[in-house]
Amino acid sequence: MDSSNLQQPGIFAGLLAIIRRDLLLAWKRPGDVLNPLFFFAMVCTLFPLAVGPSAEQLTFSGPGVLWVAALLSTLLSLNSLFMSDYEDGSLDQMLVSPQPLPVLALGKTIAHWLISGFPLVLISPLLAMTYRMPSAVMGILMLTLLLGTISLSLLGSIGAALTVGLHRGTALLSLLILPLAMPILLLGANTVSLAAANDVYGTGIWALGAYAIASISLAPYATAAALRISNE
Amino acid sequence: MWKFFHQMASPPYFYRLAATLIPWFAIPGLILIAYGAYAGLFLVSMDYQQGDAFRIIYVHVPSAYLSMMAYMMMAVGGGIGLIWRLKLAHAVGAAAAPLGAAFTFLALVTGSIWGRPMWGTWWEWGDPRLTSELILLFLYFGYMALRSSIDDTAKADKASAVLALVGVVNVVIVHFSVEWWSSLHQGQTVFKKGTMDADMRIPLFAMLIGFSFVFGAMLLRRLRTEVLFRERRTRWVRELVLSPEGGK
Amino acid sequence: MEALAMGGYGAYVWSCFGLAFIVTVVIEWRGRVRHNEIYRDIEVRIKALEERE
Amino acid sequence: MTAKLSANNLTLIRGESCLFQGLEFALNPGELLLLEGQNGSGKTSLMRAIAGMLSLESGEIFWNDMPVSGQRQEFHGALVWLAHRTGLKGDLTLVENLRFEGSLRRQAKTDPEVIYERLGITRLKRLALRSLSAGQQRRVALARMLMAAVPLWLMDEPFTNLDREGRQLVMDLTQEHLERGGMCVMAAHQDIKIASPIVRVRL
């Protein structure tokens, strides 16, 4: 590994470095990756237990349940996004780093998504199967979850940055982020339902894509501003 | 021009100015509301479809309007506060949030009461405006919860300003996505556009302006409280309190 | 009396107007109470400081 | 007024209390800025304000006679921050931690092995930081500082958790850095023995 940067490394190097570090940290603590997945699977199990195993009902409510479970599971994992950095002083180091803070915040969020959002997208067909979702619809489910979890992670990073260091962080984070996340849930779940009903579902995909692009380009700035404020 | 703004924003000046301004907002506002309410309740002839139930718009629409205006004010105030470090602008957010939440609540409840004879149910998920209004209420709750959980006022100001700015972008997205969603489910709304006669509209305008004026008066009063609290350690507050006439 | 009944919708219409009135009054009253509390706290603190000097 | 790092009329209010008011200093290459004061007198806050982490009530900090607020990235590229909390990850090894830091900022030409040897941490290279003592972790943080090729060191209580030998090492390293034309801002509540010119700020 070349560690003799005689020049100031560019922002792309910084972005990759922080993604790599966070992935390495997650690798050393696999619980952080697995807990949201278990949570996702368990919420999906709760529903048939509560309303009964009728196939018709499960097919009808499957997209909604899967999406709500994905939203809650992402929210659960977001709380720890900046927590350990705040506690061990890494956040201070990020703030005085020559790398722009939005880049570092984006890197951390990307790593978070790779750890919690992406595996969730990968296992979603498995759970969708138990809800008797036709395999043709599963592609749409995965696509909406892919776009949706990216937006959720980015949106949630703003909330995590605002609440880092507060005592009642977890409950507060949900209170801040859930109303903001409602459009994503609404677009995602309804698009899958439309696809399941053989209806036109293009609008929702485009809207989710637009949301994801807008949040990639805007959310890191809000997160950076929030981190500066929270760490004062 | 800049000098004027700076003088406006100086806390002791604003504290006194607001006290003189309050009646100038409150009295015209109350007169307009009195006229609008009387006309809306008794003078305007009833809607041929909805009967007399449509008279609820005279409180529902102004409340819904103010619920969104208050959120806009929080966001604009927060933005100004972050960029120009104007403490008074941050105080606007703190003062407007509970008022906005109250009017959002009012818009929700009146909408629900109106829906009861129309839909036969107190709550209709298919109505996009009520759903958006409910999400707006949650946004207000989040804003106030964040504010109250940060002890340091300066920090609470900045953090909640960021939240309000993110939230205001989201309000627009909520609006469009909920419209799309309700169109999928053949959602119905009782508020139809362009079906109002002029004689129905004039009292509604009176109510809108009247509510806005009264809101202004209430906001100014709360701003005075915020200014007093934030400046409690300063010399001018000390002199104000010790002066023989007091400064409530 | 018939005007007040609003063709059967009276209860709905009047409860809306009444609620609007109550909510506005309550929120304004709470605002005033808070203002007076803060003013009194400041007054007590400053007068206590004055006396010590 | 020309100085590499300077400040005028700094006022900082935290919560209810005013930590300092109208504070000024000027620092040139080869000089040490020593912040003295009791615990809780605002030494750390002043350091954080210099690093741009706290917003000041009034005043401005200048780097090359230009306000830091207008050149934050350049200024941060010229400093390292050694704080009470090391900012290193306990789950990662020494090398993994320092490699990450190395990808963020410009690095010195010195061979890392030489630096490890000097600090006496060569044997600890492959261990997770969590398993090291507080003093050893401190030495890793010092290694990060030495590996960065920057003129300005911000050191908040650099002697905590270090034994006598370690404290002497910090003083030697600081001395060498200053002799090379570097600058230091140090908050310490014990006296330090350094031959270079010292600018004192009493809080």
Interface of B with C in 26-45 (CB under 8 A): 37, 41-42
pLDDT at D104: 87
Higher pLDDT, D172 or C6: D172
Q: Residue C32 falls within a domain, yes or no?
A: yes
Q: Does residue B191 carry a pLDDT above 70?
A: no
**How far does B128 lie from chain A, in Å, by closest CA?**
12
Output DSSP code: residue B40: I
Winning range, highest mean pLDDT, from A48-52, A108-112, D1-5, D12-16: A108-112
Residues of chain A with pLDDT under 50: 1-4
Number of alpha carbons in the 13 Å side-chain half-sphere of residue C45 = 12
Average pLDDT of the residues in B118-132: 82
Residue B200 is classified by DSSP as H
pLDDT band at residue B152, thresholds of 50, 70 and 90? confident
Whether A185 is in a domain gets the answer yes
Main-chain phi, psi angles of B190, to 5 degrees: -85, -15
Measured at the CA of A125, the angle between CA A117 and CA A127, to 5 degrees, comes to: 90
Q: What are phi and psi of B234, to 5 degrees?
A: -90, 165
Confidence of residue B7 (pLDDT cuts 50, 70, 90): low
| Edge-first strand listing for the sheet containing D5-14 | D17-27, D5-14, D58-63, D66-67
What pairs with residue D7 in β-bridges? D25, D61
Interface test with A, best of B166, B174, B180, B181 (most A CBs within 10 A): B166
Pair B196, B15: CB distance under 8 Å: no
pLDDT category at B2 given cuts 50, 70, 90 is: low
Q: Is residue C8 part of a domain?
A: no
Per domain, the residue ranges of chain B are 24-242
Q: Cβ of B233 and D15 within 8 Å?
A: no
| Helices A101-112 + A135-163 axis angle, to 10 | 140
A175, A213, A227: which to substitute to probe chain B, counting the most B Cβ within 10 Å?
A: A175
Q: Does B170 touch chain A (CB under 8 A)?
A: yes
| Those residues with Cβ within 8 angstroms of residue A68's Cβ, 6 or more apart along the chain or in another chain | A43, A185, A189
List chain D residues with CB under 8 Å of B152.
14-15
Report the candidate in A137, A190, A64 with the shortest Cα–Cα distance to residue B182: A190
Tell me if there are at least 3 CB pairs under 8 Å linking chains A and B. Answer: yes
Residue A1: what pLDDT? 38
In a domain, A68, yes or no: yes
Q: B157 to chain A: nearest residue by CA?
A: A229
CB B96 within 8 A of CB B219: yes
Alpha-carbon gap, residue B190 to B174, rounded angstroms: 19
Range of lowest pLDDT (A50-59, B235-244, C5-14): C5-14
Q: What pLDDT, on the 0 to 100 scale, is given for residue B1?
A: 55
Q: Give residue B198's pLDDT band: very low, low, confident or very high (50, 70, 90).
A: confident
Number of domains in chain C: 1
SS3 D36: strand
β-pairing verdict for D32-36 and D5-14: unpaired
**Tokens (6 digits) for C40:** 């009194």
Per the structure, how many domains does chain A have? 1
Structural domain of A24: 11-230
CA atoms within 13 A on the CB side of D42: 20
Rounded average pLDDT over C10-31: 90
Token readout for A66 is 């899967």
The answer to whether residue A3 is domain-embedded is no
Give the percent of chain D with pLDDT over 90: 25
- Return the biggest CA–CA distance within chain A: 66
What part of A 57-86 touches B (C-beta under 8 Å)?
Answer: none
Position A3 scores a pLDDT of: 42
Q: Using the beta-carbon criterion (under 8 Å), do A29 and D86 form an inter-chain contact? A: no
Shortest distance between the Cα of D110 and any Cα of chain A, in A, equals 8
Q: Quick check: D1 pLDDT over 70?
A: no
Strand duo D79-82 + D183-187: pairing: unpaired
Provide the pLDDT confidence category of residue C29 given band limits of 50, 70 and 90: very high
Q: What is the pLDDT of residue A211?
A: 93
pTM of the model: 0.91
